[in-house]
Structure 1
């Protein structure tokens, strides 16, 4: 999370003191174990795996049902399964090309995963060189929140002052040799070497300028509290894992039940053998010989009710529905599906507001870099849209658009905005107008050719009639001459 500090206390930001760096790193380290636990839960390293029992012979199964990964993966697919759309009435092709160069779609997926797991995400924008062409370009990478932080001033605007990225460097034996610390402010990058972090001094290795005109590290928040999507449900996840593990323990104990025997006496040494074979012996009169298994009653119905209740609470707290539920059958309409995903849609509306705020900061940094090559882009005119990745019945939407357009109750611009894959309605309307004009022009050309053909036929008929008339007049004259002669 961002660390706040008084601007005057920070001192010279171009030459930060060791005291400043140590103070900020210690602040960041205080939240390390929380982030570590969230990462472990996503990876399946959950508390049930640490359970021990006093009796080593008792069954101790450790079942992990990874709801944490399910919640995160569903949120990531729902949020950025459809790429983020950028539209503007101005020309923004330069910035879109820069995004394509760095594969921004894959980057956004990784960023949203960090947000869902940790509740916070960081991305670093830096200068990179293409190994094939040798050209320098603006690149972008996600940085693990456990090794980077942003520092802002303590005003209500929380203006970024600098960012620090630190990472251990290991030797061939796997031990930490030293730490590499990179410091980013609004004009340059300082690289330090340190024997430890949080105390001691920092040896400056190099200082290089950058051209982003701002701190090139952006902090994204998942929500106001900076909590992960499954963080509130960790206790429920633990309870579910414990219940499932104990169910298997009970089954194993039932199969491996102790056989209780009474009515006869064992020989010396048989007790140890029978104990290893799960047998017990008790003395009784000869006429009361008996053998039975010692088991406890298992009420599967009550266990199933408890399991379903825990499962329902997990999905309720995380707003992520259970897609294996019978309510999500294949014949459910798109509108019915939206109703069932209402909670997830509300969650997305909150998450997207915070994400768009960071995406706009990213646009500013890329625009600042592109200004070097005289590519001026109006960031304020760019619209950012996140579209939920939902199954959509396009046929129904098109039919509704056609009916509403024929009825004349809504403008075409509004109707076309209903289509999920339309980012720029004005551009679509312009294309439709161009197609209409081309169709009219082709019809006019076709009618013109037809008219010329018709006119040509009329001329041919007229010439033929004239020839026939001349021939008839000639024959009449010859007949008259013969009669006079």
Structure 2
């Protein structure tokens, strides 16, 4: 998360001091334990796997049902399963081409995953050289929040001052050889080498200018609190894993229950015989002999109620529906599905506001660089739209578009945005215009051919009539 610092205390941003770098890195490392735990929960490294029992003979099954991964994957697919659409009344082909070159669709998917897991995401915009043409072009990459952060001033506007990206460089023995620290300001990229981070000095090894006219690192928020999508449900996830593990432990203990025999004793070898033959005969057996297993009673119905309650709470807290629920039947219409996904749609509306804010900063960075190469793009009128990835009845949507267009209620450019698979409305309108022109040209050619054929028929008919007259005169 962004670290705030007073602008005057920060000093010369073109030549930052070691004290400033150490302070900022130390503040960032205070949040690493939380970020690491969220990453572990998504990866399936959850607390249930660390569970121990005092007795080695006691069953200790560790069942992990990864609700954290399910919640994140559902949110990522719902948010960016349909590519983000950009539309404008101005020509933005240069910008969309630049986005296509860097595969912005895959990048947005990776970014949303970081947002869903960590509650925060970072992307770095930089210049990359094309190996085939030797030309440079703007590229973009997601950076793990555990190794990068943004520093802003302490005003209400939180203006970005610089960003720091640090990473360990390992030797062949697996140990840390040194650390690389990259410092991004609004005009320079400084690379430092350090034996440790958070303390000590930093050796400047490279200084390069950049042309983005702003700090080329963008911070995205998942929500105002910068929390992950499953962070509030971690305790519920742990409780569910524990309940399911104990259910299996109880079943295993029931199968391996101790046999309690009262009223007589077993001779040598009788225990092994009883275990193998499941029956034991004796000639002297008192009347008060009794044998039973030591087990504890299990209320399966009560456990099932608790399990269902935990599942319901997990999905309620995270606003992610249980798609295996009977409410999501195969014949549910798209419109009815929206009501069942109302909580997830509300969650998306909140996440979208913060994501679009970061995407506008991305537009500015790309536009600033394109302006240098005489490819000016007006980004003020660009509209960014995230479409939820929902089951959609395309036939009904097309019918509604046709009816609205014929009635003259809305322009075609607006109506085409209703279709889920259209990312660039202007491109579709160009294709429609091209097809209309080609159709008109074909019709004109066809009409011309028919006219020529009709004229030829008339000429042939005239020749036949003339020949008939000649024959009659003869």
What's the TM-score, normalizing by structure 1?
0.89
Q: Distance in 1 between matches of 2:51 and 2:318?
A: 25
CA distance in 1 between counterparts of 2:428 and 2:128 reads 37
The higher-RCO structure (CA 8 Å, 6+ apart) is 2
For structure 2, which runs of at least 5 residues remain unmatched after alignment?
275-284
User: What's the CA shift for 1:246?
Assistant: 0.6
Task: Assess, with a 3 A threshold, how the Cα gap between structure 1 residues 435 and 200 changes in structure 2: closer, same or farther.
Answer: closer
Q: What is the rounded CA distance, in whole Å, between the counterparts of 2:379 and 2:289 in structure 1? A: 91
SS at match of 1:138: strand
Q: In 2, Cα distance between the equivalents of 1:414 and 1:191?
A: 48
The 3-state SS of whatever aligns with 2:356 is helix
Cα distance in structure 2, aligned partners of 1:297 and 1:397: 57
The 1-side partners of 2:6 and 2:70 are apart by 41
| CA shift in 2, pair 1:371/1:411, >3 Å | closer
Point out the more displaced range, 451-460 or 216-225. 451-460
Q: What is the TM-score with the length of structure 2 in the denominator?
A: 0.91
Q: 1:454: which partner in 2? A: 454
Q: Displacement, 1:4?
A: 0.8
What is the distance in 2 between the residues matched to 1:439 and 1:375?
A: 34
What is the rounded CA distance, in whole Å, between the counterparts of 1:416 and 1:182 in structure 2? Answer: 45
By how many angstroms is 1:176 displaced?
2.0
3-state secondary structure, aligned to 2:320:
coil
Residue in 1 that maps onto 2:134: 134
Per-residue deviation, 1:373: 1.7
CA 109–329 in structure 1, closer or farther in 2 if over 3 Å, else same: same
Q: CA deviation at 1:422?
A: 3.1
**Quick one: distance in 2 between partners of 1:165 and 1:349?**
31
SS in 2 for 1:105: helix
Kindly state the Cα deviation for residue 139 of structure 1 after the two structures are TM-superposed.
Answer: 2.0
| Matching of residue 252 in structure 1 with residue 220 in structure 2 | no
Write the distance in 2 (CA, Å) between the matches of 1:426 and 1:45: 47
Deviation at 1:66, TM superposition (A): 0.4
Q: Judge conservation of contact 2:86–2:424 (CA < 8 Å) in 1.
A: no
Shift of 1:116: 0.4
Q: Pairwise CA RMSD of aligned residues?
A: 2.7
Larger Rg, first or second structure (1 or 2): 1
Q: Which residue of 2 aligns with 1:383?
A: 383
Give the 5 Å matches for 1:352-367. 352-367=352-367
| Residue 266 of structure 1: how far off its partner (Å) | 5.6
For the structure 1 residues 436 and 184, does the alpha-carbon distance in structure 2 shift closer, same or farther, using more than 3 Å as the test?
closer
Provide the residue aligned with 1:264 in structure 2: 264
- Extract unaligned runs of 5+ from structure 1: 275-284, 476-485
**1:426 deviation in Å?**
5.6
Residues 5 and 154 in structure 2, CA contact (< 8 A), matched pair in contact too: yes
* Corresponding residue SS for 2:388: coil
Q: Secondary structure at the match of 1:421?
A: coil
Which residue pairs with 2:10 in the alignment?
A: 10
- Is contact 2:76-2:109 (8 Å) kept? yes
Aligned residues: 465
1:396 positional shift:
2.1
Call closer, same or farther: CA 1:268–1:445 in 2, change over 3 Å.
closer
Aligned to 2:125: 125
Corresponding residue number in structure 1 for 2:20: 20
How many angstroms does 1:398 deviate by?
1.9
Which residue is 1:152 aligned to? 152
User: 1: distance between equivalents of 2:436 and 2:172?
Assistant: 70
Instruction: Tell me how far apart the structure 1 counterparts of residues 29 and 241 of structure 2 sit (CA, whole Å).
Output: 30
Residue 365 of structure 2 aligns to a residue whose secondary structure is: helix
- The equivalent of 1:332 in structure 2 is 332
